[in-house]
Amino acid sequence: MTIETQEYLTGWVKEIKENFLKGAEYLLETGRLLWEGRKKDLFALFTDQAGNPYKDMRSFLDSKILGVGHSQGEKLIRAWEYVQVHKIEIKRAVEIGVEKLSLGMRLDSRHPGGVKPEVLEKESKRNLQVIAGHPRELTIYFSEEEAYNVVDQAISTYIKEEGGGTPAQALEHICADWLSGKGWEHAERKQTTQEKMRELWEYYKVLKGWGKSADINFTSWAMCLKKMSTIPDQEKLKKGMKTLSEWLESSKRSWTLETLKKWYPDWEVDPGRFQPKLSEVEKIEKIAKKRKEMKEEYKTTTSSFKTPQNA
């Protein structure tokens, strides 16, 4: 690395730190400098404690060399990207604020034609956050602020009563409930991922003998349920879950949804000949039990022979 490059990098880092600490009016300039560093791959010119160059901007920001974390850093970069895409004046951008500008960039990717600066100026940060959490298929009417409050309340209530989930998942389920009342459930359509996950969760609760209160754990198993929802034959999956759970219960083994997911592929190949896999502890216990049985059998066999009496 040349002296000129070292001086440039030192100045770049110093500028970012100074602007970031100056406050709100200088955050946009911080975003510009970070964007410049990502575009030119300046992060790759720095090394970690092991002497390896940073592979991306995220890991570089996590190093705290710039004094800006990756979450805040990405937000500032998105804010500057929005300014460039919409070609708005810096003074106007500063007045809007980096929080709204960043949300505007996120919404750009979700709504055809993007979100205009006028919308960011008019809407509150809260409303923009609600919009950003909605599925991209949803049509948003930015001028109807009261509608946002109703949607926001519905989503919050759903998440609270159902024990978790993202705003997008909540909105999907709420809309599905409404459509089902219009006969949508009887039409020829595929189940949504959310519907499959909920159906599997209800079935799992029945197998476990859990009640409604168990729904608070739904989010903990969401990733597992999502993976299981991709299995084409859901009815066969449920049959496998039931069979596996019965085997596990009869052998007094502890099991969870993860256990069923892990063993189901083996059961699906040949349900009639499937045997549950033993853990390492169970394998050792089985070997020890077999040895004990063989030892007892040997004692029984040898004791049946009469020992010759001394002449």
Both tokens of 240, joined, read 């496998």
Task: Give CA–CA dist 241/227, Å, rounded.
Answer: 14
pLDDT higher than threshold 60 for residue 42 = yes
Q: What is the pLDDT of residue 311?
A: 44
pLDDT tens-digit readout, 223-245: 899 899 999 899 999 999 999 89
Task: Give CA–CA dist 282/273, Å, rounded.
Answer: 20
The better pLDDT of the pair 67, 303 is held by: 67
This model's pTM is above 0.85:
no
Distances (CA, A) of 226 to 36, 102, 196, 261: 38, 30, 8, 11
* Residue type present at position 219: T
Label each residue of the chain as H, E or C: CCHHHHHHHHHHHHHHHHHHHHCHHHHHHHHHHHHHHHHCCHHHHCECCCCCECCCHHHHHHCCCCCCCHHHHHHHHHHHHHHHHHCCCHHHHHHHCHHHHHHHHHHHCCCCCCCCHHHHHHCCHHHHHHHHCCCCCCCCCCCCHHHHHHHHHHHHHHHHHHCCCCHHHHHHHHHHHHHHCCCHHHCCCCCCHHHHHHHHHHHHHHHHCCCHHHHHHHHHHHHHHHHHCCCCCHHHHHHHHHHHHHHHHHCCCCCCHHHHHHHHHHHHHCCCCCCCCCCHHHHHHHHHHHHHHHHHHHHHHHHCCCCCCCC
Please state the rounded mean pLDDT for residues 198-216: 86
pLDDT tens-digit readout, 75-112: 888 888 888 888 888 888 888 888 888 877 777 665 55
pLDDT tens-digit readout, 118-142: 878 877 777 776 666 654 433 443 4
